[in-house]
Amino acid sequence: MTTRAAPTEIAIHAPDAQRMGFFTDTTVCIGCKACEVACKQWNDLPADGSRFGRGSSYDHTGSLNASTWRHVRFVEIAEPTPQAREDAVQRLEAGGGGRVPDIPATGGGSGSGAGDLDLVAIASQRAAPPGAVDVAAAVAAMDEWVFMSDVCKHCTNAGCLDACPTGALIRTEFETVVLQADVCNGCGYCVPACPFGVVARDPDDGRAAKCTLCYDRLQDGLEPACAKSCPTDSIQFGPYDELVDLAARRVGELHARGMPDAYLYGASDDPDQELAGGLGAFFLLTQPPERYGLPAQADSPVQENVLPATTAAYGAALLAAAGAAAAFLGAARRSAGHGPLRFARRRAIRSWQR
């Protein structure tokens, strides 16, 4: 029995204008992509089309872009953990009554790679007929699948916000980062400034676009469309501090249930370890972040390089201006002070000459 709160247990207090955010629990995501559909429907975003042919992946909706602000990643891991393989073998044995001594690779021999298993050989080693093979268990032995609904992270230290020269990107009263399309000039500076690769430009008009965390719904006291549509409560929405406490309890619960690899990405207890100062949309993961297409470090190139250089340039310019102003004032004072003395001396000389 899980202890995660239902969405109704986290009240939305729009008038209080406290920080709001997302907590995405990947351990209960089923990859249904309902959040993608709800996001597109509410924000009137065009469909990108369903297309396969992306290597060996079953993910057919691409990635985050200017018209997809929520995307469920299919993380198909070619080499499952030893525990996942052991669980798969136990399921195979329980399903057919026969023992599976070794899972052979295609072409004979003992399988050392996770992605080269021979399902026909697995079936022939069991007492049950080949047609009774537990296909789900066999697939689990081959690959470990996890899903993650990806979205803009609404960073505390948002690189895109710092890079925007027009004020199109703003921080709202809910501490979310919103991009105003009518103010964007299409310069694209925000795109490389995002360490997560979230911000993208519309190929038609060049303007940038990303998740707004349903700012219009928040203003009316409603939860975002994606969280509203999630059938497993994988996407939790509410006051940020409450979500962090909820997520920490969930991690403790998973550890107690034998999942020691569960951890929070983007909501660390150590401020020095926070990604981008802390993510307004953070995740519970069970694999290294790179497996989910997330960076282990989230330092914006703009904040690391451009802003310090710009600050230094502004500082040097201010110092130069201050020096010029001081020199000008000093000269003016000297001129003002010597003027009367010079004229007084001239008058004295002329009076003596007379």
pLDDT for 143-165, tens place per residue?
Answer: 678 899 999 999 999 999 999 99
Annotated binding-site residue? 187: yes
Question: What are the sequence ranges of the domains in the chain?
Answer: 12-78+147-299, 82-142, 300-354
Q: Could you give the percent of the chain with pLDDT greater than 70?
A: 58
pLDDT for 127: 46
- 39 labelled binding-site residue: yes
- Residue 241, annotated ligand binder? no
Q: Residue 218 corresponds to which tokens in the numbers above?
A: 């928040």
- Binding site annotation covers 73? no
Burial state string for 78-87 with b = 16 or more CB within 10 A and e = fewer than 16 = eebeeebbeb
pLDDT of res. 325: 65
Query: What are the tens digits of pLDDT across the range 88-100?
Result: 667 666 655 444 4
Determine whether the annotation assigns residue 304 to a binding site. Answer: no
**CA dist., res. 20 & res. 23, Å (int):** 10
Output the CA torsion 180→186→191→193 (10° steps): -80
Strands 70-77 vs 169-171: parallel, antiparallel or unpaired:
unpaired
Residue 339, marked binder: no
Q: Mean pLDDT across the stretch 226-250?
A: 97
Q: Is 155 annotated as a binding residue?
A: yes
In the CATH scheme, what architecture does the domain 12-78+147-299 have?
Answer: 2-Layer Sandwich (3.30)
**In this predicted model, what pLDDT tens digit does every residue of 287-343 receive, in sequence order?**
999 999 999 987 766 555 444 444 444 455 566 666 666 666 666 555 555 544 444
**Two structure tokens written together for 186:** 């299409």
| Pairing outcome for strands 281-285 and 263-265 | antiparallel
Look up residue 98 and give its two tokens.
């026969």
Instruction: Quote the pLDDT of residue 299.
Output: 76
The pLDDT of residue 124 is above 70: no
pLDDT of residue 59: 82
- The SS3 of residue 198 is coil
190 is in an annotated binding site: yes
Known binding residue 230? Answer is yes
Consult the annotation and say whether 138 binds a ligand: no
Structure token digits, residue 34: 């309902």
70: exposed, middle or buried (Cβ count in 10 Å: 0-12, 13-18, 19+): buried
Find out whether 164 is annotated in a ligand binding site. yes
Does the annotation flag 346 for ligand binding? no
User: Residue 38 in contact with residue 229, Cβ under 8 Å?
Assistant: yes
pLDDT (0 to 100) of residue 48? 81
Bigger pLDDT: 86 or 188? 188
Is 29 among the annotated ligand-binding positions? yes
**C-alpha–C-alpha distance, residues 175 and 167, integer Å:** 16
pLDDT of residue 280: 96
